[in-house]
Amino acid sequence: MKMNAATPNTAAQGDSIVIIGTGFAGLGMGIRLKQAGIHDFVILEQASSVGGTWRDNHYPGAECDVQSHLYSFSFEPNPGWSKEFAAQKEILGYLERCAEKYDLLPHIKFATEVVSARFDDRAGMWDVATRGGETYRARVLVSGCGGLSKPSMPDIPGIETFRGKLFHSARWNHEFDMNDKVVGVIGTGASSVQIVPAIQPAVRRLEVFQRTAPWITPKPDRKITRREQTLFARFPLLQKAARVSQYWRREALAVGFVKQPKVLKALEPLVRFYIERAVKDPVLRQKVTPDYRLGCKRILPTNTYYRALQKPNVDLVTSGIEAIVPEGIRTKDGQTHVLDAIVCATGFEAAEAVAPVPLRGRGGKDLEHVWLDGAEAYLGSTVAGFPNFFMIVGPNTGLGHSSMVFMIESQIAYTLDAIQQMRQKRLSTVEVKPEAQAAYNREIHARLADTVWNTGCVSWYRTRSGKNTTLWPGYTFEFRRRTRVFDLESYEVVRKDAERAVPAPAYASANN
């Protein structure tokens, strides 16, 4: 399927598949394809190893805030998880083992960054261009790029003038020795609340720049004992039972997020009580107490963040950042915070500018342009005008309450069924009907209006204009049900026999 000067286009008549990315989505897709007996696929990975977000987010303290029995593939339980909420290294190791066990490595082209993809209308194929100048031609293109892969640097005046070290949490600079340094962390989201306790013991002083206080809850973490690991290995049903129980306990929370935000509101006094117990100083307590509804932004479970904030070498700065200056950060109260390093734990481009790669669909339609008013898709998977293109973790598939791996497996099943139906029914293209996509989006946006995410806070879940393009407004089992079978009736199809009437395309141009 790869075309370059040395390799003539031999796969153009085939039904090959290109997958982008080797996180849970890309690897899971590859595994499921192989299990279904489909082997003509390639996975393009920009880095030199697998892992996606769990490879890139190697900041100190990085770990999962969903239990690992649940935050792993259903078909590949790991009896060896060392604690309830595994750390980044352990999850990355799990993904590496999956890639090896299912013999995916021969399918992966590392150091192969996709720079664009263009649909060839006449051939019904995607031409996928890489930074190295190669073009891969495929019948089906699957994006496993994830929703949180593009770090967002803060738009703070003077950021380029800082003389010390400055880096994003998802691009941690391990060469910078934190010991005895004065470090500023911008942001108090999910990444920051893990970084702050991890670096606090090493640094001389830590200044945490908070714009909005997050809702923090205790994290029910604990070590998983050797005995439990042995039992899980010997009796897989036990581990399955643990997973099912975690799934349903989390699913119960969805009631508060998407059905009855009142339920979460009723929990607020409990969490406030926790803050009162955990934070002794009333001034600090007031600073860390959120002023918006519980659940509107991601709830952050951690047992160590408040403790770290109360250490003598830590300051929580809430006066607002005015500018970054060569020596540090100047806040709106006129104070200059002199720093050796600034960590931007400022999140990702999630709701805005979210086309996984520059993508041109039928008639040269640009996905960025189509999504100018906010990304939308059908079942978070397909987009009208972009035939044979499937997304995993596409628009409105994110969750506030449970494991993304569950959603990822749902979308993999949907995409796999699409590919199988295309092959069985000899379909050249499948393209979601615009009316099916529009009806679906009308439905989910009507439902989103009643969720806790729409109760007035500013979050990365929504675009600047307020459209929630990231979250699924329902139970995860509903999403699973709706993606179980590829619903061909919602798609325009072109059959291969019909396609034969079309003159053969000039493939040489695909190499340009």
Read out DSSP for 105-170? GGGEETT--EEEEEEETTTTEEEEEETTS-EEEESEEEE---SS-SB-----TTGGG--SEEEEGG
- Cα-to-chain-centroid distance, residue 208: 25
Out of 34, 211, 219, 447, name the contact with ligand N01 by CB under 6 A: 211
| 317 versus 510: smaller Cβ distance to ligand N01 | 317
| CA atoms of 123 and 302, how far apart (whole Å) | 52
Place of tokens 């306790």: 197
Q: Which is nearer to ligand N01, 347 or 395 (CB)?
A: 347
Q: Which parts of 460-499 interact with ligand N01 (CB under 6 A)?
A: 460
Which of 181, 205, 250, 298 lies at the binding interface for ligand N01 (CB under 6 A)? 298
- Cα distances from 212 to residues 65, 152, 288, 346, in angstroms, run 20, 17, 8, 12
328 lies in the binding site for ligand N01 (CB under 6 A): no
Q: Which C-beta is closer to ligand N01: that of 68 or that of 381? A: 68
Residue 58 interacts with ligand N01 (CB under 6 A): yes or no: no
Instruction: Report if residue 52 touches ligand N01, rule: CB under 6 A.
Output: no
Is residue 191 part of the contact set for ligand N01 (CB under 6 A)?
yes
CB of 208 to ligand N01, least distance (A): 10
Give 414: exposed, middle or buried? Use CB within 10 Å, 0-12, 13-18, 19+: buried
The half-sphere exposure of 323 on its side-chain side, counting CA atoms within 13 A, is 10
From the list 188, 239, 410, 463, which residue makes contact with ligand N01 (rule: CB under 6 A)? 188
What DSSP assignment string belongs to 3-37? EBTTB---STTS--EEEE--SHHHHHHHHHHHHTT
CA 235 to chain centre: 32
Residue of 379, 335, 358 lying closest to 473 (CA atoms): 379
Residue among 187 and 197 whose Cβ is closer to ligand N01: 187
**Stretch of 9-17, 147-155, 425-433, 476-484 contacting ligand N01, by CB under 6 A:** 147-155
Query: Please, what's the b/e burial string for 20-38 (b: 16 or more CB within 10 A of its CB; e: otherwise)?
Result: bbbbbbbbbbbbbbeeeeb
Q: Which is nearer to ligand N01, 64 or 316 (CB)?
A: 64
Check residue 346 for interaction with ligand N01 (CB under 6 A): yes
Interface with ligand N01 (CB under 6 A), residue from 34, 40, 47, 65: 65
For the segment 22-51, give every residue that binds ligand N01 (CB under 6 A).
none
- Which residue type sits at 119? F
- Tokens 């942001």 correspond to what residue? 187
- The verdict on 190 binding ligand N01 (CB under 6 A) reads yes
The least distance separating ligand N01 from the CB of residue 156, rounded to whole angstroms, comes to 5
Interface with ligand N01, residue 246, by CB under 6 A: no
Minimum gap (Å) between residue 259 Cβ and ligand N01: 21
Contact stretch for ligand N01 (CB under 6 A) within 209-217, 335-343, 412-420, 437-445: 209-217
CB 44 within 8 A of CB 114: yes
Name the minimum Å distance from CB 268 to ligand N01: 18
The contact pattern for ligand N01, residues 387-426, with x = CB under 6 A and - = no contact, is ----------------------------------------
Is residue 18 within 8 A of residue 138, CB to CB? The reply is yes
- Smallest distance, ligand N01 to C-beta of residue 400, A: 9
Q: How many chain residues interact with ligand N01 (CB under 6 A)?
A: 24
Count the neighbouring beta carbons within 10 Å of the beta carbon of residue 150.
15
Kindly list the residues in this chain that would bind ligand N01 in the complex (CB under 6 A): 64-65, 148, 154-156, 169, 186-192, 209, 211-212, 298, 321, 345-348, 460
